[in-house]
Amino acid sequence: DTEVTQTPKHLVMGMTNKKSLKCEQHMGHRAMYWYKQKAKKPPELMFVYSYEKLSINESVPSRFSPECPNSSLLNLHLHALQPEDSALYLCASSQYRGGNSPLHFGNGTRLTVT
């Protein structure tokens, strides 16, 4: 079981659709992350929120738009995606900001762009 909850588990969307991925944690963690993972590859960092402020954007295309409404919630808004954006999208949280704090991952959203 994971303490980071992601919805939906699976998502199929067309290139003209707008959708959102949601992530929630109630561990009081102050940093939250979005990672993208392709098959047989490591997680690739997309965004980091620290104390509800965006601290890192790894040059992610603007068709991905993150949002952190409060310290427990993290959203990823998707618009006009490409088929190559199909991947597993992982949300994670850590107690403190920075690379010293272990990551707790959600189950992920498996996204297919048609």
Partner 1 sequence: GQQVMQIPQYQHVQEGEDFTTYCNSSTTLSNIQWYKQRPGGHPVFLIQLVKSGEVKKQKRLTFQFGEAKKNSSLHITATQTTDVGTYFCAGPGETSYDKVIFGPGTSLSVIP
DSSP for 31-46, please give it: EEEEEEE-TTS--EEE
- Of residues 9, 18, 26, 41, which one binds partner 1 by CB under 8 A? 41
Burial (CB < 10 A; 0-12, 13-18, 19+), residue 33, is buried
11 part of the interface to partner 1, by CB under 8 A? no
33 part of the interface to partner 1, by CB under 8 A? yes
Burial (CB < 10 A; 0-12, 13-18, 19+), residue 88, is middle
97 part of the interface to partner 1, by CB under 8 A? yes
Q: By CB under 8 A, what part of segment 57-86 binds partner 1? A: none
- Of residues 17, 20, 30, 45, which one binds partner 1 by CB under 8 A? 45
Which residues in this chain contact partner 1 in the complex, by CB under 8 A? 2, 31, 33, 40-45, 48, 50, 55-56, 88, 90, 94, 97-100, 102-108
